Amino acid sequence: MSQRIVISLDAMGGANAPRAVIEGASIALNKNPNLYFKIFGNQQLIGNLFEQFPILKENYEFIETGTYISDDEQPIKALKNGVNSSMRKAIDAVKENAAVACVSSGNTGALMVMAKMVLGELPGIKRPAIVGVVPNLNGGTVMLDLGANAECDETNLFQFALMGDCFAKIILDKKSPTIGLLNVGVEQIKGREIEKKTYNLLKKSGLNFIGYVEGHDLTKGVVDVVVTDGFSGNIVLKTAEGTARLLMQIMKQGFRNNLSSKLGGLLAKKSLKESFKSVDPNVNNGAMFIGVNGIVVKSHGGAEAIGFANAINVAYDLAQRNINQEIIKELDILQGEMSLGQNIVEKIKKTSARILGIGS
Amino acid sequence: MSQRIVISLDAMGGANAPRAVIEGASIALNKNPNLYFKIFGNQQLIGNLFEQFPILKENYEFIETGTYISDDEQPIKALKNGVNSSMRKAIDAVKENAAVACVSSGNTGALMVMAKMVLGELPGIKRPAIVGVVPNLNGGTVMLDLGANAECDETNLFQFALMGDCFAKIILDKKSPTIGLLNVGVEQIKGREIEKKTYNLLKKSGLNFIGYVEGHDLTKGVVDVVVTDGFSGNIVLKTAEGTARLLMQIMKQGFRNNLSSKLGGLLAKKSLKESFKSVDPNVNNGAMFIGVNGIVVKSHGGAEAIGFANAINVAYDLAQRNINQEIIKELDILQGEMSLGQNIVEKIKKTSARILGIGS
């Protein structure tokens, strides 16, 4: 039997917790039988859920935590008051090497702050980011930052590109992922100062940087990785989600209009469902807090069991392929190969402790 | 008969020019018979199009311009070399009071630069913006800036809100449009410095400001006006367009999968088409360069005749309702009512000539 992969789960986060978490674990285990879960949560709320998914039996340990972080809790408050929460304990398990990765559908801000606080940054990485896969017909595009850093500088974006490259290699299984920088046009004169500065850094980086991409290129799948700041990434992601929801709503309405359309809807339903699966957020669920010294995967707050299982699969793949060692290695290579990289890494190493209050 | 409304048209801009322009004019005229067009373009390329739409007969004047601005021309080059282009002449007509508004489907950057150069800004307005309507099930949401200013400060965003308010009053026919500031969350601590500063200005403005909105609120139609910088507005708009295109593509694919789905598609086609009309970009076509001292409406580059007609209707409504006088009036009221507004207006009046090289 292959080596056991231990993943810690926050059983209490997200709209469908704890059911989606426990059921999701059982689905993931079915795919990867060498998974083992440390599940943190409230026994009273979990009830007899474990018994409903007997496949889990030999492959989990339940740890009672009593408290949990609510979805609307302020991150700083959560950090202060949530020392014994299911979320915190799941992250602690990664810190203590009791798990190789942690997965939660809970409060994004709280999870990010806790992960940074408990695990710290990877050596050389200035700012962790949220990275995920935006679905499209080309197998998906990795995008970061999805919202961890509202304001960034060019060295942040440069490091996002580097981390996105490693993430895409593992999750999209690409040898040399193409990388694009989000902008308002593809011409070199377009954009803000930060895009121009980042463009120049990426041009010299040795990464497979193809230049600027626009909002519509994301859904076209023009590149494997789209790099942007956390403000832009967040509004792009939410706009895409909102637009998709609106169109689905309109389509459903269209089918309800009259008898003919109702019959048409019935006849096409199965096939349409199949087609839309390729862009189902559940299928593409699982964003990583990349740059943190430990694997923390954020599952969508509204994820169902199948979605949570996919987030576990993402954590599994990232752990199996040693994402963080890959990032450190790539940073080292850049440091050796280009004086630019060296400057950035050196500068970051010196200043990260001061700026972030966290040692490098 | 009501007063004649003269609108100048650039017959040569956009992918479907000149047909979409000439045919679009005929459709608009059918709706508003007091329209009269000054049409600028190349007779050779227009051929016998005018004869194909006899309704135009008494209601247009054609002015041969020979040259026109191509879609990929650099704005600055277009400004320099395009003095006799159809686009430039259409703008000149507004400057010379020969037309109350101008409509073009051509090169956005060139049109913006020319409009600013020829018409100048409205007194007190620091930066013009691109404003348009994003379709949703609540009748659409006005958004600005859609891409004129990649980098903005809080006084720019504050003025965008003010101009968006006037635009929504006219185009959405709302008495007191609700205004939201785009951000990555609705809590007051969210976002960048610029969002926080703008929030404070808007809170005290007397506008119907409801606070922060997110990417998905745009398609939900949570507010009447969404304010953001030109970088964010542009990527949001293009992401929404790209996502909509992707979903339509997947839906069409879903209908093609098998016999049952094909039949379903045939039965539902008409009804679906009707439903999707509410979010058809053609129906919502027509963005304004707001803040410019004259009405310049940008039609989508890919607009068909019906879309171009809608852009003409937008120009017509804005001219009929004296949008620019409304903006000046609202700016004056703010100036009187709040010391804050006064500071901004005074500051802008003093510095706009220096900063923009254009007198106020």
Please tell me which of the candidates B237, B257, B273 has its beta carbon nearest to residue A274. B257
Nearest CA of chain B to the CA of A162: how many Å? 23
Tokens 């606080």, residue located: A117
* B163's tokens: 């101009």
Cis before B145 (ω within 30): yes
- Cβ of B247 and A248 within 8 Å? yes
Assess contact for B286 and B315: CB atoms under 8 A. Answer: yes
- Cβ of A242 and B265 within 8 Å? no
Assess contact for A242 and B219: CB atoms under 8 A. Answer: yes
- Judging contacts by C-beta atoms under 8 Å, the chain A residues touching residue B74 are 189
Please tell me which of the candidates B150, B236, B267 has its beta carbon nearest to residue A191. B150
The answer to whether position A259 is within a domain reads no
Nearest CA of chain A to the CA of B222: how many Å? 12
For B54, which DSSP code?
A: G
pLDDT band at B344 (very low <50, low <70, confident <90, very high): low
- Cβ of B275 and A254 within 8 Å? yes
Please tell me which of the candidates A240, A267, A278 has its beta carbon nearest to residue B250. A278
The answer to whether position A6 is within a domain reads yes
- Cβ of B240 and A245 within 8 Å? no
Q: pLDDT > 90: what percent of chain B?
A: 74
pLDDT tens digits for range B248-266: 999 999 999 899 999 999 9
- Cβ of B268 and A278 within 8 Å? no
Per-residue model confidence (pLDDT) at position A355: 45
Please tell me which of the candidates A242, A244, A260 has its beta carbon nearest to residue B218. A242
- Cβ of B250 and A184 within 8 Å? no
Contacts of A165 (CB under 8 A, 6+ apart): A177, A179, A207, A208, A225, A330
Q: Where are the alpha helices (DSSP H) in chain A?
A: 19-31, 43-46, 49-52, 75-81, 86-95, 108-119, 154-171, 193-203, 215-220, 230-256, 259-276, 305-320, 323-337, 339-356
Q: In terms of CA atoms, which chain B residue is nearest residue A191? A: B150
Give the count of domains, chain B.
1
HEC string for A121-145 = ECCCCCCCEEEEEECCCCCCEEEEC
Asked whether residue A158 carries a pLDDT value surpassing 70, the answer given is: yes
pLDDT tens digits for range B71-86: 888 888 999 999 999 9
Assess contact for A131 and A137: CB atoms under 8 A. Answer: no
pLDDT tens digits for range A48-60: 999 999 999 999 9
User: What phi and psi, each to the nearest 5 degrees, are found at residue B67?
Assistant: -85, 160
Residue type, A162: L
Assess contact for A338 and A133: CB atoms under 8 A. Answer: no
Per-residue model confidence (pLDDT) at position B281: 76
- Judging contacts by C-beta atoms under 8 Å, the chain B residues touching residue A151 are 192-193
- Cβ of B232 and A230 within 8 Å? no
The answer to whether position A303 is within a domain reads yes
- A to B CB pairs, distance under 8 Å: 214
pLDDT band at B229 (very low <50, low <70, confident <90, very high): very high
- Cβ of A251 and B275 within 8 Å? yes
User: What phi and psi, each to the nearest 5 degrees, are found at residue B227?
Assistant: -105, 135
pLDDT (average), residues B35-46: 95
The answer to whether position B341 is within a domain reads no
- Cβ of B275 and A248 within 8 Å? no
Rounded CA-CA distance B11/B273 in Å is 29
Please tell me which of the candidates A137, A228, A239 has its beta carbon nearest to residue B236. A239
The answer to whether position B13 is within a domain reads yes
Per-residue model confidence (pLDDT) at position A343: 54
pLDDT tens digits for range A222-254: 999 999 999 999 999 999 999 999 999 999 999
Asked whether residue A358 carries a pLDDT value surpassing 50, the answer given is: no
Q: In terms of CA atoms, which chain B residue is nearest residue A278? A: B250
Nearest CA of chain A to the CA of B173: how many Å? 23
pLDDT tens digits for range B149-200: 999 999 999 999 999 999 999 899 999 999 999 999 888 878 899 999 999 9
* B78's tokens: 């277009």
Please tell me which of the candidates A136, A241, A275 has its beta carbon nearest to residue B216. A241
Domain region containing A22: 1-120+292-321
H or E element that contains B313: helix B305-320
pLDDT band at A331 (very low <50, low <70, confident <90, very high): confident
- Judging contacts by C-beta atoms under 8 Å, the chain B residues touching residue A275 are 250-251, 253-254, 257
Q: B34-54: buried (b, 16+ CB within 10 Å) or exposed (e) per residue?
A: ebbbbbbbbeeebeebbeebe
- Cβ of A220 and B242 within 8 Å? yes
- Cβ of A263 and B265 within 8 Å? no
The answer to whether position B43 is within a domain reads yes
pLDDT tens digits for range A197-206: 999 999 988 8
Tell me which of A226 and B278 has the higher pLDDT.
A226
Per-residue model confidence (pLDDT) at position A356: 47
Please tell me which of the candidates B74, B251, B269 has its beta carbon nearest to residue A251. B251
Rounded CA-CA distance A219/A48 in Å is 42
Per-residue model confidence (pLDDT) at position A11: 96
Q: Which of B74, B143, B247 to mutate to test the interface with A (most CBs of A within 10 A)?
A: B247
- Cβ of B246 and A214 within 8 Å? no
pLDDT (average), residues A188-215: 93
Contacts of B132 (CB under 8 A, 6+ apart): B142, B143, B144, B146, B237, B284, B286, B287, B288
- Cβ of A239 and B251 within 8 Å? no
For B177, which DSSP code?
A: -
The answer to whether position A35 is within a domain reads yes
CATH number of the structural domain spanning residue B306: 3.40.718.10
The answer to whether position B110 is within a domain reads yes
Query: Cα–chain-centroid distance for residue A256?
Result: 36
